[in-house]
């Protein structure tokens, strides 16, 4: 079997082989898991009461500490502690931990266990599964936690009970531990016996408190009233022998017994702790007893009341069955865990770019779109960038990037202008970026850098130290592109060494690929992948034959965008008698700022030209525009052009290779000779002369092209294929 064909290996670590609640759920899931995973089980103590309960290979604790597994799933405290110790020296596996408890004070050594869990175990886990809402809330919603509620088979097994009300049989199933409250239940039976001498209590289970409970039964003279049944293998017969089920727990993180009792229609009495109020619908499906004051007296009164109204409480129990059987199931629980496993086995992608949340440029927009889609598909996405203080201050920005895990580096000499500040920040980003990659190497399967500047150096050094494959993306070409800029930067030999470490180099266009091969990159590492665009639900209004025509440009106001060509072309059309409005959305470029010259030129022309500056939301401008114009001399692949097409706008762009890779002239847009204001004016007049014909056809075709070729889903499909060439996804 090849590496790609093998099943991922999964080790499940349980506390005991004496099947209790957590272990029953594990056994229940095993048949479904073995179809897709190579499953082994490690149990830390005990032997099964009824033979080999575990239908998969059993391993010992030494194997759990040293065996090779793709994924380890632990349940409860001791298994979690064991695997956390292993993780100190071994980060090669993914780790899922299920939390089955929500209250530490009632646990033995609860304060110490709480500290170990919260400070030592939980932060190191890749994903925490909480079995109930109360458990999740008790942990205060840590970022790696999610809710997976337990589910058991819930076939109807209605039972009429065992005896008459005067000889009522009550029962409970519990491990004999302090948190189960069996001492209070036995005391409650002593009080109830004074009113109902023939009542009986059966307790199924075993545990370390058995001698204490036996002594209490003798002291209270309940030998003929309370029966300790030991570990019961035939729970069906046990439940059918009862009239009322009682759960006196000091804390109850889920309440599995409630689901089972609902299937029998058994009246249910429970302490109002943990998840029990939710399981009993705040009293709609059973009797809740506050765990305060004289608890045994409260339990005795509740049991007395339920015995007297057994029919009413049986109906409540059946209502609980109707409610929960529609919401919880073994299949649902199994599917939820399978999704967690598959998500954890997908590669962790480390996106590398020094300025992401700090900026709103094209690189940043593409990274946002594609990282969000990767996260939606289950990938774990990490973003390595300089520290951005706004993330802690701007809730909207934090929500926008909530799908990634940040690996931030110090923003040294922030705000220092000039070459000294730029180079100091670049050097710091490289040093601390590599350090962050090494520290988080167990989470990262692929390094993906954006732009061949400092991200390439970070990625190359990160690959050297961790062995993770490196993907780089080129975002601009030509004299003003990355290759042109690199020729003017220091450390050229070191940069060339970094380029040799690249496993896959993503280019946006065929012309860009040719530029990379001319530079020396091998054809085998190149992969052409255009930019992506989110397809909006709404479209721009169709171009009409009346009113001013709205021309729109979105982007940096920099010299290579050649916006003077747009101004002069628009002026020619306006001088011919056509009313125009030119909207510019974007700010001046910090390096090649053209805004002052453009404002002076606009003042000399008889055209309505409006400078709107940077806008957080550009959608309203696309919706109200008629024609989008892009007159650049150099592009990577214009995000704004793709966005305009996605809104079904008419698009008019300069005839350069980068724009030709997006637009087919006369089919889904129009091209004009770059730098030729006269040709731009002729194309504008042609569109305006055919408002109801070719103009509408071009607008519809532009939207279709955006959906078919450049949608985020289509581009990320291809990006996944590139990742798949470098790492085994391992998900069957």
Q: Convert the pLDDT of each residue in 29-64 to its tens digit.
A: 999 999 999 999 998 876 544 445 668 888 989 988
Taking the C-alpha atoms of residue 138 and residue 101, their distance in angstroms, rounded to an integer, is: 9
Compute how many other C-beta atoms are within 10 angstroms of the C-beta atom of residue 2.
6
SS3 assignment, position 71? strand
Q: Residue 462 — pLDDT band, cuts 50, 70, 90?
A: very high
| pLDDT tens-place string over residues 408-418 | 999 876 766 66
**pLDDT greater than 60 at residue 617:** yes
Closest residue by Cα to residue 515 from 633, 658, 641, 632: 658
Mean pLDDT, the chain, as a whole number? Answer: 88
Task: Give dist(CA 239, CA 159) in Å, integer.
Answer: 8
Cα separation values, 247 from 23, 134, 182, 349, Å: 20, 17, 8, 47
Query: How does pLDDT run across 146-180, given as a tens digit for each residue?
Result: 999 999 888 888 876 555 556 899 999 998 988 89
Burial class (CB in 10 A: 0-12, 13-18, 19+), 50: exposed
Q: Does 436 score more than 50 pLDDT?
A: yes
Q: Give the separation between CA 79 and CA 16, rounded to whole angstroms.
A: 10
For residue 716, the cross-strand partners are none
Q: What is the mean pLDDT of the segment spanning 423-428? A: 86
Q: How far apart are CA 622 and CA 99, in angstroms?
A: 49
Comparing 321 with 420, which gets the higher pLDDT? Answer: 321
Residue position matching structure tokens 């850098």: 449
Cβ-based neighbours of 47, under 8 Å, separated by 6 or more: 17, 18
What letter would DSSP give residue 558? B
Residue 427 · residue 490 · CB < 8 Å: no
Average of per-residue pLDDT across 442-457: 91
- pLDDT higher for 453 or 714? 714
Identify which of 343, 340, 342, 350 has the alpha carbon closest to the alpha carbon of residue 723. 350
Query: For residue 731, what pLDDT is reported?
Result: 42
At what angle are helices 21-34 and 330-345 packed, to 10 degrees? 70
Cβ contacts of 290 within 8 Å, gap of 6 or more: 271, 272, 298
Helix-helix angle 256-264:310-325, to 10 degrees: 110
CB 446 within 8 A of CB 723: yes
Whether the Cβ atoms of residue 262 and residue 245 lie closer than 8 Å to each other: no
| Residue 557, phi then psi, degrees to nearest 5 | -90, 75
Q: What strand order describes the sheet that includes 58-59?
A: 58-59, 38-45, 9-16, 71-75, 94-99, 127-130, 145-147
How would you class 293 by CB atoms within 10 Å of its CB: exposed for 0-12, middle for 13-18, buried for 19 or more?
Answer: exposed
pLDDT value for 684 = 92
Look up residue 685 and give its DSSP letter: H
pLDDT tens digits for range 716-727? 999 999 999 998
pLDDT value at residue 545? 63
- Counting residues of the chain whose pLDDT is more than 70, the rounded percentage is 92
Does residue 200 carry a pLDDT above 80? Answer: yes
Q: How confident is the model at residue 691 (pLDDT cuts 50, 70, 90)?
A: confident
Q: Any residues with CB less than 8 A from the CB of 402 and at least 6 apart, and which?
A: none
pLDDT value of residue 224 = 93
| φ, ψ dihedrals at 283, nearest 5° | 105, -5
pLDDT level of residue 328 (50, 70, 90 thresholds): very high
Query: pLDDT at residue 536 above 50?
Result: yes
Q: CA 357 to CA 352: how far, in whole Å?
A: 12
pTM of the model: 0.68
pLDDT of residue 231: 86
Q: Give me the domains of the chain, ranges plus CATH numbers.
A: 9-147 (3.40.50.2000), 165-328 (3.40.50.2000), 346-528 (3.40.50.2000), 549-710 (3.40.50.2000)
Where residue 181 falls (left for φ over 0; alpha for ψ -120 to 50; beta otherwise) is left
Cα separation, 683 vs 654, whole angstroms: 11
pLDDT of residue 48: 47
Residue 543 in this model has a pLDDT that exceeds 60: yes
Please give the structure tokens belonging to residue 351: 């996106």
Whole-number pLDDT of residue 472:
96
Task: Answer whether 168's CB lies under 8 Å from 267's CB.
Answer: no
Type and span of the H or E element at 672: strand 670-672
- 643: nearest Cα among 402, 451, 360, 254: 360
């Amino acid at each position: 079997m090849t590496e790609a064909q093998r099943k991922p290996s999964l080790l499940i670590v349980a506390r005991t082989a004496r099947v209790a609640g957590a272990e029953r759920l594990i056994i229940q899931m095993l048949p479904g898991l073995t179809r897709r995973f190579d499953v082994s089980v490690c149990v830390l103590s005990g032997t099964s009461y009824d033979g080999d309960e575990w239908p998969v290979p059993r391993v010992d604790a030494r194997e759990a500490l040293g065996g090779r597994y793709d994924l380890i799933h632990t349940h409860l405290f001791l298994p979690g502690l064991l695997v956390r110790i292993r993780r100190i020296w071994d980060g090669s596996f993914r780790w899922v931990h299920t939390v089955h408890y929500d209250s530490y004070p009632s646990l033995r050594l609860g304060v110490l266990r709480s500290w170990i869990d919260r400070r030592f175990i939980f932060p190191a886990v890749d994903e925490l599964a909480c079995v109930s809402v109360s458990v999740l809330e008790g942990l205060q919603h840590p970022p790696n936690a999610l809710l997976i509620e337990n589910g058991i088979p819930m076939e109807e097994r209605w039972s009429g009970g065992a005896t008459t009300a005067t000889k009522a049989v009550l029962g409970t199933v519990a491990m004999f531990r302090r948190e189960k409250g069996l001492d209070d239940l036995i005391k409650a039976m002593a009080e109830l016996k004074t009113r109902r001498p023939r009542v009986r209590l059966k307790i199924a289970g075993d545990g370390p408190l058995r001698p204490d409970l036996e002594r209490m039964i003798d002291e209270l003279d309940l030998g003929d009233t309370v029966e300790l049944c030991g570990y019961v293998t035939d729970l069906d017969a046990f439940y059918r022998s009862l009239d009322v089920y009682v759960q006196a727990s000091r804390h109850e993180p889920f309440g599995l017994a409630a689901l089972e009792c609902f299937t029998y229609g058994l009246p249910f009495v429970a302490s109002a702790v943990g998840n029990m109020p939710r399981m009993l619908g705040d009293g709609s499906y059973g009797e809740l007893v506050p765990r305060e004051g004289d608890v045994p007296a409260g339990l005795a009164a509740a049991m007395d009341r339920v015995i007297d109204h057994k029919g009413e409480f049986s109906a409540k129990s059946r209502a609980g069955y109707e409610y929960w059987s529609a919401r919880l199931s073994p299949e649902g629980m199994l599917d939820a865990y399978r999704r967690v496993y598959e998500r954890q086995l997908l590669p962790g992608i480390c996106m590398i770019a020094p300025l992401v949340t700090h900026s709103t440029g094209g690189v940043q927009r593409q990274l946002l779109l594609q990282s969000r889609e990767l996260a939606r598909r289950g990938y774990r996405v990490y973003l390595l960038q300089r520290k951005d203080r706004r993330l802690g201050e701007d809730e909207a920005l934090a929500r926008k990037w909530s799908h990634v895990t940040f690996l931030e580096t110090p923003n040294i000499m922030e705000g220092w202008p000039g070459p000294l500040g730029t180079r100091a920040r670049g050097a710091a980003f490289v040093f601390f970026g590599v350090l962050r990659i090494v520290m988080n190497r167990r989470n990262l399967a692929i390094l993906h850098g954006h732009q061949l500047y400092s991200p390439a150096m970070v990625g190359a050094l990160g690959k050297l130290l961790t062995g993770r494959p490196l993907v780089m993306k080129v975002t601009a070409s030509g004299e003003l592109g990355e290759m042109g800029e690199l020729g003017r930067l220091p450390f050229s030999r070191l940069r060339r060494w970094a380029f040799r470490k690249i496993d896959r180099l993503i280019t946006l266009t065929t012309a860009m690929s040719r530029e990379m091969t001319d530079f020396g990159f091998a054809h085998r590492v190149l992969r052409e992948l255009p930019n992506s665009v989110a397809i909006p639900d709404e479209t721009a209004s169709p171009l009409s034959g009346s009113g001013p025509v709205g021309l729109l440009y979105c982007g940096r106001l920099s010299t290579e965008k050649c916006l003077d060509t747009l101004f002069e072309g628009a002026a020619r059309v306006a001088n011919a008698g056509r009313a125009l409005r030119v909207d510019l959305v974007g700010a001046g470029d910090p390096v090649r700022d053209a805004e002052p010259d453009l404002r002076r030129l606009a003042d000399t022309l008889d055209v309505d030209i409006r400078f709107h500056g940077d806008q957080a939301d550009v959608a309203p401008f696309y919706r109200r525009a008629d024609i989008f114009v892009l007159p650049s001399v150099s592009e990577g692949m214009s995000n704004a052009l793709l966005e305009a097409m996605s809104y079904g706008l008419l698009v008019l762009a300069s005839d350069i290779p980068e724009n030709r890779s997006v637009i087919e002239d006369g089919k889904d847009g129009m091209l004009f000779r770059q730098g030729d204001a006269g040709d731009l004016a002729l194309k504008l007049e042609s569109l305006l002369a055919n408002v109801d014909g070719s103009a509408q056809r071009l607008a519809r075709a532009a939207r279709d092209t955006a959906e078919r070729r450049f949608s985020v889903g289509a581009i990320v499909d291809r990006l996944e294929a590139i990742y798949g060439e470098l790492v085994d996804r391992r998900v069957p």
